[in-house]
Amino acid sequence: MRRQSVPDNFLMAEAVTLLCFSLLFFCSHALVSPGSSNSTIDELALLAFKSMLSSPSNGLLASWNTSSHYCSWPGVVCSRRQPERVVSLQIPPELGQLRRLQVLNLSTNTLHGSIPAAMGGWTNLTTLDLSNNLLQGEIPNEVGTLKNLVDLRLHKNDLSGKIPLSLTDSLSIEYLSLRDNRLSGEIPVALVNLTSLRHLDLANNLLSGAIPSALGRLSSLSVFNLGYNNLTGLIPTSLWNISSLTAFAVQQNMLSGAIPSFAFSALPHLQTIAMDDNEFHGYIPTSLANASDVSFFQLSYNRFSGIVPLEVGRLRKLNWLQISNNLLQAKEPEDWELVSALKNCSRLKLLDLGANKFKGLLPDSLSNLSNSLTFLSISVNEISGSIPEDIGNLINLQYLDLSNNYFTGTLPSSLSRLKSLQSFSVYSNKFNGLIPVTIGNLTKMNYLDFDSNTFSGRIPSTLGNMTNLLALGLSDNNFAGRIPIEIFNIQTLSGILELSNNNLEGPIPLEIGNLKNLVEFRAYSNKLSGEIPTTIGECLLLQNLYLQNNMLTGAIPSSLSQLKGLENLDLSSNNLSGQIPEFLGNISMLYYLNLSFNSFVGEVPSFGVFANASGVSIEGNGKLCGGIPDLHLDPCSLKLPKKNHKLLVVPIVSSLVATMAILLSLYMLLTRRKRSKTKNPSETFIQGHPLISYNELVRATDGFSDANLLGSGSFGSVYKGELDDQAAQSTNLVAVKVLKLHTPGALKSFIAECEALRNMRHRNLVKIVTACASIDARGNDFKAIVYDFMPNGSLDGWLHPDTNEQTEERSLDLMERVSILLDVAYALQYLHCDGPAPVVHCDLKSSNVLLDANMVAHVGDFGLAKIIVEGSSSAQQSTSSLGFRGTIGYAAPEYGAGNVASTNGDIYSYGILVLEMVTGKRPTDSIFTQRTSLREYVAQAVHNRTSDVIDTRLYLRQNDELHDAGDALFERNIDGLISLLRLGLSCSEEVPSSRMPAEDIIKELLAIKEVIL
């Protein structure tokens, strides 16, 4: 989901009153003695409000001081009848740029504490907007005394408790938004008294119980959002009688039952229906056709069954139909008439029928759907037969997923006409024959998955024309011949290249070194021969390399030592020879190494990955010796010169014994000291968060199934899970990071993350729900950290989208990018200055910035974090044990020289992140070499070739959306982009002391945001 525009952008575009000022104004009244004069009261109240803002000396309130009368202060309006009394606070005309976002611009991250009860004194208040702050506690009952209140917005805070019944005394309320808090209890039935209510949004809270049927009497209601709560039961039939309803959302609750057949009969104006992630069952009612204005229809993740009614084709304005993950059926040809009916939906852009019970043949009428269609998924069904021959008619299709079905035959030649296609998957079907060479015409392709079919012949060299390809899957087929060199010239390949389980032969081409950004290469179970190419060491980002079950010969090339991020290496069942190189033990990330069934000889190293018997496999190499005892190898013989040295034997042995005794004593002493100084991770963690058991996490993640795997890193794998309310303190969806304890440094990472986060709380940091320090089912140590689940994934996924998992084109506009950068800057300000103890993150990058359902950014992954000792500007860590800290491309240059971690290092990483946000390029992109970095790339162009470095998607969007609105507006946005580039350059200065602190970054971003607005 993209960041949604806040409703007051539209509803309050002409409004100038900033009534949240008034709230705090009356709060401060309560602190003034009754004997004070009115003028003193008002002046003190205004100054009290100013003192509560994070940066009161800047912007609108800069001139709020005693050097002039408060009635002349910007935004202050005094009464004509009582010239000394303040009647309202307004945005002055000269600050008209802030009108549309007046509350958000001035209140975000500035208001904290609880909402004061004294606000009840403002009886003339009509609009109260305290949204997007850090307010805590309950909503005071005094809100019910605001009899003239029309608009109440308290969303995006940390409010708790129940919705106060007194709120229903404010009978004039038309707009009520309490979403994104921690409100609990049931929805008050008394809300029915708010007869003027048009907009009711209670989403993303902890509300429980059933939806009151009485709410069906709110005849003026147009927007009703109850999504992401813990509601149960049925949707009351009375709600279907609200004729003015335009948006109805109840997704992700525990609601059940069937939708009544008359459900949509009285909803002619309904535009949005979102009922996904519930327990609804039964048929989709044919009365849906009466809601003729519906454009967004989403019922996924329920238990709907039966045939999809043909009446859906009468929804002429429909552009989004997502009914995936249900039990819907199509068995006979007439059941597929749904597809023909959808021809009438000329605006249809997304059609998702995936994960249902559809069977039979896909009708040819699929090719006649709207030319507007960009997303089509019918994956995970039981559809057979061939793909319609004319599917190429869907010329604007960008995402096509036919995976996990029973399709047969060959791929139709018309596929080559889908020039906009970016993601195409036929994974796990029964397709056969040759892949047409015209497939190479799809030059916009990012993700191509032909795995698990019976394709044969040679891999077409025309795949090399797909110069935007990020991932390619051709495994588990019958491909023969050599691997086309052209594939290795696709320099954008940065995900996975999967060629396994085929009949490929010949050597691995030297051109593999062109894939600088490749993360995973799988070519196992083929007939590949020759030596492992030395150029593979140029794939600097490679993490997983699987070449087992081939006929490779020669030694392991020394160039593999350059793969510092290598995690898995499997070269088993080949004809490799020579000694096992020691450099494999120096690759700190390597935790799985399989060299079995080759012809290796000599001594096995005993450090790094070789120190863990469960992480290394060397069986089937009969001439190996040494290694750790757990490998059960014969000791390597000590070959001495043939001359008689009997006289030397005794002193040598004596010296060795003495040395070993001394070393053993020192080791035991150091171990005792280390144990006395090192906290048990579970004890460290338990102070702030209750622990959870291993079995609970097994249940939550379905046994840590691959289906729930979100990603894997150096020290751990992350799974999506669902905890019950008791275990998760009312948290439902979570992300579970399971530590790879056999990886060197993983336990240290666990301790660091627990220590860094256990006492910290900020809206822009990933929140820890709980942790686990236990043993698994095999009796091995098990440690995991449980976080809040972030539905929109990482920022990296939005900047560099992998179309395999997207349901719409992922794109961030300029304001969204600035808002995310602000969120990250606020997080850094808190970590460096405002938290319980200063913390250096040490690994800030786009993949560690996670986005929640509202596209608010949260900084995560504190596995490398360091707490700064009081009185120091850098983390307490010796240079010898620090090593290289961070990620290549983001890490500050001084870290490479062994300097200690510091806040300046985080600012450098932030600067690179800013440049990545504006240019759309990773600092490790293939266009950058040792001579040219992302920073130098921008620095060379920022003065006269700015448009050359701005993300093409962003620049074209600015051009398309703003140029028609006027050259001045367009130029203002370009100025904002230039300012962002300069900010990134300033933050990434080579000299640490030249980088600006987080506080100044926030000021600069707020100024940029104001310019854009």
**Helix, strand, coil in percent for the chain, rounding step 5:** 35, 20, 45
- DSSP secondary structure string for all residues of 411-458: PPGGGGG-TT--EEE--SSEEEEPPPGGGGG-TT-SEEE--SSEEEEE
Contacts of 724 (CB under 8 A, 6+ apart): none
Label the pairing between strands 406-409 and 382-385: parallel
Q: Are 957 and 965 in contact (CB under 8 A)?
A: no
Could you give the CA distance from residue 242 to residue 234 in angstroms, rounded to a whole number? 17
Q: Among the options 843, 852, 861, 951, which is catalytic?
A: 843
Q: Are 814 and 976 in contact (CB under 8 A)?
A: yes
- HEC string of 923-950? CCCCCCCCCCCHHHHHHCCCCCCHHHHC
Distance (Å) of CA 1011 to CA 58, 834, 976, 1006: 15, 28, 7, 9
Q: Is 255 exposed, middle or buried (0-12, 13-18, 19+ CB in 10 A)?
A: buried
Q: Are 477 and 502 in contact (CB under 8 A)?
A: yes
Q: Is 224 exposed, middle or buried (0-12, 13-18, 19+ CB in 10 A)?
A: buried
Total residues found in the chain within this entry: 1013
Closest CA to 97 of 70, 60, 58: 60
Cβ–Cβ contacts within 10 Å for residue 777, how many? Answer: 10
Long-range contact pairs involving 778-785 (C-beta distance under 8 Å, separation at least 24): 780/741, 781/741, 782/694, 782/738, 782/741, 783/681, 783/738, 783/739, 783/741, 783/747, 783/750, 784/697, 784/716, 784/736, 784/737, 784/738, 784/739, 785/736, 785/737, 785/739, 785/750, 785/753, 785/754
The three-class DSSP label of residue 199 is: strand
The counts of H helices and E strands in the chain are 20, 54
Look-up of token digits 């990018």: 817
Could you give the CA distance from residue 416 to residue 440 in angstroms, rounded to a whole number? 8
Distance (Å) of CA 76 to CA 82, 88, 631: 14, 6, 79
Q: Cα angle vertex 556, ends 554, 560, to 5°? A: 145
706 is catalytic: no
| Terminal-residue alpha carbon distance, the chain | 23
Could you give the CA distance from residue 651 to residue 660 in angstroms, rounded to a whole number? 14
- Residue 127's H or E segment, with its range, is strand 127-129
- HEC string of 805-870? CCCCCCCCCHHHHHHHHHHHHHHHHHHHHHCCCCEECCCCCHHHEEECCCCCEEECCCCCCEEECC
Q: Encoding tokens for residue 615?
A: 């992480």
Q: Are 369 and 342 in contact (CB under 8 A)?
A: yes
Look-up of token digits 């709980």: 770
Contacts of 211 (CB under 8 A, 6+ apart): 187, 226, 231, 233, 235, 236, 239, 250, 255
Could you give the CA distance from residue 1008 to residue 583 in angstroms, rounded to a whole number? 49
Bridge partners of residue 159, in order along the sequence? 137
Could you give the CA distance from residue 451 to residue 456 in angstroms, rounded to a whole number? 12
Look-up of token digits 């059933």: 210
Could you give the CA distance from residue 665 to residue 941 in angstroms, rounded to a whole number? 61
Catalytic residues, by residue number, are: 843
